[in-house]
Amino acid sequence: MRAVILVGGLGTRLRPLTNQLPKPLVPIAGEALMSRTLRRLQRQGVRHVILAVQYLAEQFLAAYGDGSAFGLNLQIVQEPEPLGTAGAVRYALAQTKLLDAGPILVLNGDELTDFDVAQLWQAHAQTAGVATIAVREVADTSAFGVVASDEQQRVYAFQEKPAPGTALANTINSGAYVFAPAALAQIPVQGFAMLERDLFPSLLAAQAPIYAYQHSAYSQDIGTLAGYLAANEAVLMGRLPQEPVHGIQYAAGVWAAADAQISPSAQLIAPIMLGSGCVVGENARLERVVAWERVTIEAAASLTNVALASDVLIAHHATVEGLALG
């Protein structure tokens, strides 16, 4: 299997965590999401990965090089300007001369999941579709892209963030696709184009067969603070057995790097991840906190639902709730 991973977005909703790191390189429980994704894809049988990079592009080359550390053949393609999720796929495949090389797996780079892409690949091979979209059920579709399909799983409609009560289905796009060359040919050769807004509607209008593949694997978009904390929580609480945590576990879901200094009087309420060089002062209270490296939380500070980028200092007695700080 060969995959294009979309990693070129600005990650605006996760700022300031994404001011200096592209979103796919943000650490989840002490390790970059991208490293977790590459390991999973290798485990599932992917051998060739193309990273479609743009924002802070050079960091991907520095971190992953040719992919050999992950047992992958990795190529990195940088767009001259952001081309959108569809434009980026077409550009990356044109640059690597793979536009006509058979089906291609395409993945969003900001999803923590244990979804098995081999199942999606096989499902695609069993249909005559030009595209197969991984979908999953959610109770509330209003924040997502809905994919509505018939009993044969053929897709007949897309809805972006439908108002409550107006959704055509309870299945949403979960950020993994297989495209045949015939679908890729519908993406304009030049300019900005999005998969959801441009490619899928144009395929539907042309009556090209698109299929949905429904799965129930864990899947969490890390693109907002709530999503980022939820993804960390899943790994820290051991809900994804294949995903390691890098640190010592002090209590269920409370993790810290071996060199973190934590006052015995500090109160740590799971999930907690404190990276290398973090310091937590006396009587500080932390609940659902992810701190990267060298973060100092002074005495009696109180933090709830907080993500802290490296080198942040929280002053004594400060109260912080529901914020990402950098």
Annotated catalytic residues are: 161
Query: Which among 205, 150, 213 is positioned nearest to 177, based on CA atoms?
Result: 213
Whole-number Cα distances in Å, 27 to 52, 97, 228, 246: 20, 32, 9, 11
Measured CA to CA, the distance from residue 38 to residue 60 in angstroms comes to: 12
Name 113's bridge partners. Answer: 219
| Residues contacting 126, CB < 8 A, separation 6+ | none
Residues 78-117 that bind ligand GTP (CB under 6 A): 79, 82-85, 88, 108-110
Least separation in angstroms between CB 178 and ligand GTP: 17
Least separation in angstroms between CB 10 and ligand GTP: 4
Least separation in angstroms between CB 158 and ligand GTP: 16
Residues 258-317 that bind ligand GTP (CB under 6 A): none
Question: What beta strand segments (E) does 180-300 contain?
Answer: 210-214, 219-221, 248-251, 254-256, 261-262, 267-274, 279-280, 285-291, 296-297
Q: 95 or 304, CB closer to ligand GTP?
A: 95
Q: 3 or 254, CB closer to ligand GTP?
A: 3
The rounded Cα 319 to chain-centroid distance in angstroms is 29
Helices marked H in 249-301: none
Least separation in angstroms between CB 56 and ligand GTP: 10
Number of residue whose CB is nearest ligand GTP: 9
- The 3-state DSSP class for residue 4 equals strand
Half-sphere exposure of 315 (CA within 13 A, CB side): 1
- Asked if the bond preceding 271 is cis, omega within 30° of 0, the reply is yes
Least separation in angstroms between CB 53 and ligand GTP: 6
Least separation in angstroms between CB 17 and ligand GTP: 11
Q: Does 7 bind ligand GTP (CB under 6 A)?
A: yes
Q: Does 145 bind ligand GTP (CB under 6 A)?
A: no
Measured CA to CA, the distance from residue 115 to residue 324 in angstroms comes to: 28
Q: 109 or 209, CB closer to ligand GTP?
A: 109
Q: 8 or 247, CB closer to ligand GTP?
A: 8
Q: 160 or 282, CB closer to ligand GTP?
A: 160
Q: Does 9 bind ligand GTP (CB under 6 A)?
A: yes
Instruction: Name the segment binding ligand GTP (CB under 6 A); options: 5-13, 65-73, 209-217, 235-243.
Output: 5-13
Neighbouring CB atoms inside 10 A of 301's CB total: 22
Q: 25 or 29, CB closer to ligand GTP?
A: 25
Residues 205-244 that bind ligand GTP (CB under 6 A): 223
The rounded Cα 185 to chain-centroid distance in angstroms is 26
Query: Which among 251, 6, 220, 245 is positioned nearest to 106, based on CA atoms?
Result: 6
Site for ligand GTP, rule CB under 6 A: 6-13, 23-24, 52, 54, 79, 82-85, 88, 108-110, 223
